[in-house]
């Protein structure tokens, strides 16, 4: 069983030379079929889908092509997370530079072999959760990030990417339907959560299309959904201190049914005064506040700490 590791090896698909973001494709064919039959491709590397890694391989080229169309990566710097057998990768090869981040070393090796003639493609055998995204993306930004994300890591992975919105052009991700609903949720709904607020504070969220379980091998038990996240610099600028904002949102949503005058005691020493200054009713619960109200509340906390 593979385990996650903070170490990763960056291996050019062809060689170690000319792998900078400006490197152009060689005379290699513009298209290549990386994944015909999922079962046959898995047999080629001698394995079955790894449940521990949350592997559900996309088996319908039409869906992969549709995701690539939404991502629109032509001529852009692009990162694909979890390329697996390459079902989506084969439709991303017209990117200016393409970095494929794959945790499974056997699948990473297969991609390296199949894409050896594409010198603008770099295989990164790594755990995407362990990557320092600012360091990884800074010489490539702005980057379009695309991926069929494993259900068990989609939320923390998206959260870590949204820590560096200035490095992103957009994120196009296939996630569990429930996660998509939380990303897009509005206040006073059951799906509204810390993830909703932290995402919408830095990006616009658009639901692209739903994908049925039968599109994957093996089939998951739930539907998936492709979502598009596009950084919104004007929203980021409203937040005085991102660390304070994040801590506030995560803390109060851990006790989402508690009134803010109670849950805020874990964040500030004088909740009543903070709420008064922010113009928020003490009896409100976190699910009742919109993103702008959370921004205002966090900014008041920052200013109150500065002047106290």
Statement: residue 81 has pLDDT above 80: yes
Mean pLDDT confidence for 67-84: 97
Q: Using CA atoms, how far apart are residues 164 and 301, in angstroms rounded to an integer?
A: 23
* pLDDT for the residue 51: 77
pTM: 0.86
Mean pLDDT confidence for 161-170: 95
CATH of domain 9-232: 3.40.50.150
Angle between helices 291-307 and 271-278 (to 10 degrees): 120
DSSP state of 26: -
Statement: residue 99 has pLDDT above 90: yes
Could you tell me which residues come within 8 angstroms of residue 109 by beta carbon, excluding any fewer than 6 positions away? 45, 125
Q: How many CB atoms lie within 10 A of CB 26?
A: 12
Produce one character per residue of 198-233: b if its CB has 16 or more CB atoms within 10 Å, e if not: bbbbbbebeebeebeeebbbeebeeebbbbbbebbe
* pLDDT for the residue 115: 95
The per-residue pLDDT of the chain, averaged, comes to 88
* pLDDT for the residue 151: 87
- Label residue 36 by pLDDT band (50, 70, 90): low
Mean pLDDT confidence for 226-249: 94
Omega within 30 of 0 (cis) for the link into 218:
yes
Q: Using CA atoms, how far apart are residues 248 and 14, in angstroms rounded to an integer?
A: 47
- Label residue 185 by pLDDT band (50, 70, 90): very high
- Label residue 8 by pLDDT band (50, 70, 90): very low
Q: Which fold has domain 242-307?
A: Helicase, Ruva Protein; domain 3 (1.10.8)
Could you tell me which residues come within 8 angstroms of residue 161 by beta carbon, excluding any fewer than 6 positions away? 133, 145, 168, 171
Q: Is the dihedral of CA 126, 81, 181, 49 positive or negative?
A: negative
Mean pLDDT confidence for 15-39: 51
Mean pLDDT confidence for 99-103: 97
Q: Could you read off the pLDDT of 245-256 as tens digits, one per residue? A: 999 999 999 999
Task: Pick the closest to residue 70 from 187, 215, 174 (CA basis).
Answer: 174
Q: What is the 3-state secondary structure (H, E, C) of 209-258?
A: EEECHHHEECCCCCCEEEEEEEECHHHHCCCCCHHHHHHHHHHHHCCCCC
Angle between helices 177-184 and 154-161 (to 10 degrees): 40
Q: Give the CA distances from residue 210 to residues 54, 177, 192, 205, in Å, rounded to whole numbers and listed in that order.
A: 19, 8, 20, 15
User: Among all chains, which residue has been given the structure tokens 């695309």?
Assistant: 146
Do strands 216-217 and 168-176 pair parallel, antiparallel, or not at all (unpaired)? Answer: unpaired
Omega within 30 of 0 (cis) for the link into 142:
yes
* Three-state DSSP state, 173: strand
Two domains, one topology: 9-232 and 242-307: no
* pLDDT for the residue 34: 61
Mean pLDDT confidence for 172-179: 96
* pLDDT for the residue 97: 97
Which residues share a beta bridge with 145? 79, 171
* pLDDT for the residue 32: 63
* pLDDT for the residue 180: 97
Q: Could you read off the pLDDT of 274-306 as tens digits, one per residue? A: 999 999 999 999 999 999 999 999 999 999 998
Domain ranges of the chain: 9-232, 242-307
Q: Using CA atoms, how far apart are residues 224 and 242, in angstroms rounded to an integer?
A: 30
Largest CA distance in the chain: 67
- Assess contact for 5 and 127: CB atoms under 8 A: yes
Q: Which two tokens stand for residue 154?
A: 């989609």
Give the CB-side neighbour count of residue 139, counting CA atoms within 13 A: 8
């Amino acid at each position: 069983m593979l385990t996650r590791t903070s170490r990763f090896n960056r291996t050019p698909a062809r060689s170690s030379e000319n792998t900078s973001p400006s490197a152009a494709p060689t005379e290699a064919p513009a298209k290549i079929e990386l994944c015909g039959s999922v079962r046959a491709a898995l047999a080629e590397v001698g394995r079955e889908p790894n449940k521990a890694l949350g592997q559900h391989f996309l088996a319908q080229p039409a869906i992969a092509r549709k995701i690539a169309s939404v991502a629109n990566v032509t001529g852009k710097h692009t990162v694909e997370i979890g390329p697996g057998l390459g079902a989506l990768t084969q439709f991303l090869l017209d990117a200016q530079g393409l970095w494929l981040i794959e945790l499974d070393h056997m699948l990473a090796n297969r991609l390296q072999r199949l894409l050896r003639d594409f010198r603008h493609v770099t295989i990164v055998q790594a755990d995407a959760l362990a990557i320092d995204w600012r360091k990884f993306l800074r010489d490539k930004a702005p980057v379009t990030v695309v991926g069929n994300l494993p259900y068990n890591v989609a939320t923390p992975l998206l959260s870590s990417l949204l820590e560096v919105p200035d490095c992103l052009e957009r994120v196009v991700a296939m996630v569990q339907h429930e996660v998509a609903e939380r990303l897009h949720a509005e206040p006073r709904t059951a799906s509204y959560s810390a993830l909703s607020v932290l995402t919408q504070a830095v990006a616009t969220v658009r639901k692209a299309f739903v994908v049925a379980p039968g599109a994957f091998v093996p089939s998951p038990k739930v539907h998936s959904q492709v979502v598009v996240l596009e950084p919104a610099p004007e929203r980021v600028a409203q937040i005085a201190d991102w660390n304070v904002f994040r801590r506030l949102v995560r803390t109060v949503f851990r006790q989402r049914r508690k009134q803010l005058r109670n849950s805020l005691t874990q964040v500030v020493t004088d909740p009543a005064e903070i709420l008064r200054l922010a113009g928020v009713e003490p009896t409100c619960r976190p699910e009742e506040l919109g993103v702008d109200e959370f921004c205002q509340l966090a900014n008041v906390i920052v200013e109150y700490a500065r002047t106290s």
